Amino acid sequence: MLPHLMVAPNGARRGKADHPALPITLDEILTEARACREAGADGLHLHLRDAQGGHLLDAGAYREALTAFDAALPGFAVQITTEAAGRYAPDHQRRVALESGARSVSVSIAEMTAGEAAQTAPEFYAACDAAGITVQHILYDAGELDGLAGVLGEARFRDPALQLICVLGRYTGAAGSDPAGIAQFTEAFARHGIQPDWALCAFGPQETACLRAARAAGGKCRVGFENSLWNADGSLAGSNAERVREVRARAFA
C-alpha cells in the first residue's frame, strides 16, 4: 500500500542554485527525511546524485542508501526512482530496479516501452512481481493507462493493489499544474473499471491545491522540491518539511 503522504525532496534535475535547502548528498537526504517524517510524511521517493550532483541510477549506491535509511529511520517507507532523466536506457533502469535491493520502485510506463524496450517490458514487470518488488507506475497522461493495461495483462492491471502515480504538469512552462487535470485520470480509471492505489504529484505553485483535490478524489499525495518549491500563497518554501506541513494541514485536515 502506498504511503498517504510521500515526500520527493530533490528529484533528478534541480540543484542548490534552484534552492539552497535542496538535499543532494545522502546525509542531507537523511536529515531532510527525518524532518519530513516529523512534519507528517510517511514515505520518501529517493533520488541519488553522483559526486558532481548529477542524477545517479546505481544499484550499489541504492543498496548503501537503503541500508542507511534502515539504520537511521527504521520503518520509514522508501521508494527508489528509475527515472531516466535523459541519462539512462531502459535496460539499465531495469537492472537497477531488480538489483538494488529495493522493495518499492517507481517506473515510467513510457520509458519502459520506448522503442525496442517494449518487446521485453512484460518480462520486466513479471520479474519484479517474482522478486517481491512493488512497482508504482508513472502516468504522465491518462492515455498511458491503455499501454499499461496491455503490458501488465488483465490480472495485474485489475488488481486493487496496482500502484499508480499521476503527474500533473512538467518542469517547463510557467502555468504549472491545474487541479482540474485530475479528472482525466479518474475518468480513465472508471472507463477501465479499475480502482487502483493511486497518488498524485504536481508541478508549480498549484501543488498544494492539486494535492488537496487528489485527496478529495480518493488519491494519495507526493509533495516536495522535486516538483515544486512553492507554498499555496506563492511564497518560496523554506524546506521540504515546510511543504509537508502545509499539505498535511490543508489536505489531511
Contact 72, 103 (CB under 8 A): no
pLDDT tens, residue by residue, 164-214: 999 998 755 555 789 999 999 999 999 999 999 999 999 999 999 999 999
Amino acid 92: pLDDT: 97
**Cα gap 84→112, rounded to integer Å:** 10
pLDDT tens, residue by residue, 87-140: 999 999 999 999 999 999 999 999 999 888 889 999 999 999 999 999 999 999
C-alpha cell at 193: 473499471
Secondary structure class of 106 (helix, strand, coil): strand
Secondary structure class of 44 (helix, strand, coil): strand
**Cα gap 253→247, rounded to integer Å:** 9
* The pLDDT of residue 46 is above 70: yes
**Cα gap 187→194, rounded to integer Å:** 10
Amino acid 118: pLDDT: 87
Contact 132, 126 (CB under 8 A): no
Contact 211, 223 (CB under 8 A): yes
Per the prediction, the chain carries an average pLDDT of 95
Does 3.30.930.10 match the CATH number of domain 5-251? no
Q: Where are the domains of the chain?
A: 5-251
Query: Scanning the structure block, which residue is given the C-alpha cell 502545509?
Result: 246
What predicted TM-score, i.e. pTM, was given to this entire model? 0.95
Amino acid 248: pLDDT: 98
Return the sign of the alpha-carbon dihedral for residues 230, 234, 235, 241. negative
CA nearest to 248, candidates 235, 232, 236, 229: 232
C-alpha cell at 237: 518554501
